[in-house]
Amino acid sequence: MINDKLPKIWYGGDYNPEQWDAPTWAEDERMFKLAGIDVATINVFSWAMLQPDEDTYDFSFLDAQMDRLYKSGTYVCLATSTAAHPAWMARKYPEVTQVDVKGRKRKFGGRHNSNMNSPIYRKFAERLASKLAERYKDHPALVAWHINNEISNYDYSEQSAAAFRVWLKKRYGSLDVVNKVWNTRFWGHTFYDWDEIVLPSELSEEWDGNNTNFQGLSLDFRRFMNDAHLECYLLEYNAIKKHCPNVQITTNLMGFYPGLNYFEWAEHLDVISWDNYPALDTPVSFTAMSHDLMRGLKSGQPFMLMEQTPSQQNWQPYNSLKRPGVMRLWSYQAVAHGADTVLFFQLRRSVGACEKYHGAVIEHVGHEHTRVFRETAELGRELQLLGDELLDARGEAKVGILYDWENRWAVELSSGPSVGLDYVNEIHKYYDALYQENIEADLIGLKEDFSKYKVIIAPVLYMLKPGVKEKIEAFVKAGGTFVTTYFSGIVNENDIVTLGGYPGELRNLLGIWAEEIDSLLPEMSNEIVMEKSWGELNGSYKCNLLCDLIHAEGAEVLARYGSDFYQGMPVLTANSFGEGKAYYVATSPDAAFLRGFLGNLCAEQNILPLVKAPEGIESVQRVKNGVSYLFLLNHTNGELSADIGSTERTDLLTGNKVSGTAAIPAHGVLILSDKK
Helix, strand or coil, per DSSP, at residue 651: strand
- Measured CA to CA, the distance from residue 616 to residue 634 in angstroms comes to 6
Of the ranges 11-19, 119-127, 224-232, 585-593, which one interacts with a copy of itself (CB under 8 A)? 11-19
- Measured CA to CA, the distance from residue 488 to residue 516 in angstroms comes to 13
Of the ranges 182-190, 382-390, 471-479, 610-618, which one interacts with a copy of itself (CB under 8 A)? 182-190
CB of 366 to a copy of itself, least distance (A): 6
> String of b and e for 271-284 (b: at least 16 CB within 10 Å)?
bbbbbbbbeeeeeb
- Measured CA to CA, the distance from residue 145 to residue 138 in angstroms comes to 12
Q: Report 211-230 residues binding a copy of itself (CB under 8 A).
A: 212-216
Active site residue 18: no
* 434 class by beta-carbon count within 10 Å (0-12 exposed, 13-18 middle, 19+ buried): buried
Of the ranges 4-12, 238-246, 332-340, 348-356, which one interacts with a copy of itself (CB under 8 A)? 348-356
- Contacts of residue 533, defined as CB under 8 A and 6 or more positions apart, other chains included, come to none
Site for a copy of itself (CB under 8 A): which residue of 270, 355, 604, 674? 355
Rule CB under 8 A: is residue 604 a binding residue for a copy of itself?
no
Q: Report 360-419 residues binding a copy of itself (CB under 8 A).
A: 363-366, 370-372, 414-419
Rule CB under 8 A: is residue 177 a binding residue for a copy of itself?
no
Rule CB under 8 A: is residue 117 a binding residue for a copy of itself?
no
CB of 620 to a copy of itself, least distance (A): 26
**Do residues 64 and 38 touch, judged by C-beta distance below 8 A?**
no
Of the ranges 40-48, 166-174, 231-239, 575-583, which one interacts with a copy of itself (CB under 8 A)? 40-48
- Binding-site annotation: residue ranges for substrate: 111, 149, 315
Q: Report 410-469 residues binding a copy of itself (CB under 8 A).
A: 414-420
Site for a copy of itself (CB under 8 A): which residue of 319, 508, 540, 600? 319
Q: Report 538-597 residues binding a copy of itself (CB under 8 A).
A: 549, 565
Residue 536's nearest CA partner among 458, 633, 489, 603 is: 603
Rule CB under 8 A: is residue 501 a binding residue for a copy of itself?
yes
Residue 448's nearest CA partner among 235, 301, 627 is: 301
Bond preceding residue 200 cis, omega within 30 of 0: no
- Pick the catalytic residue from 95, 150, 236, 437: 150
Rule CB under 8 A: is residue 284 a binding residue for a copy of itself?
no
**Do residues 218 and 101 touch, judged by C-beta distance below 8 A?**
no
- Measured CA to CA, the distance from residue 248 to residue 270 in angstroms comes to 5
- Contacts of residue 240, defined as CB under 8 A and 6 or more positions apart, other chains included, come to 80, 129, 130, 132, 133, 145, 147, 249
Rule CB under 8 A: is residue 195 a binding residue for a copy of itself?
yes
Rule CB under 8 A: is residue 176 a binding residue for a copy of itself?
no
- Pick the catalytic residue from 206, 307, 375, 618: 307
Site for a copy of itself (CB under 8 A): which residue of 106, 394, 447, 542? 106
Rule CB under 8 A: is residue 626 a binding residue for a copy of itself?
no
**Do residues 618 and 632 touch, judged by C-beta distance below 8 A?**
yes
Active site residue 307: yes
**Which three-class secondary structure string do you get for 501-522?**
CECHHHHHHHCEEEEEEEECCC
Q: Report 63-92 residues binding a copy of itself (CB under 8 A).
A: 81, 84, 86-88, 90-91
Over the window 235 to 274, marking each residue x when it contacts a copy of itself by CB under 8 A and - when it does not, the resulting string is: ----------------------------------------
Where in the sequence numbering do the catalytic residues fall? 150, 307
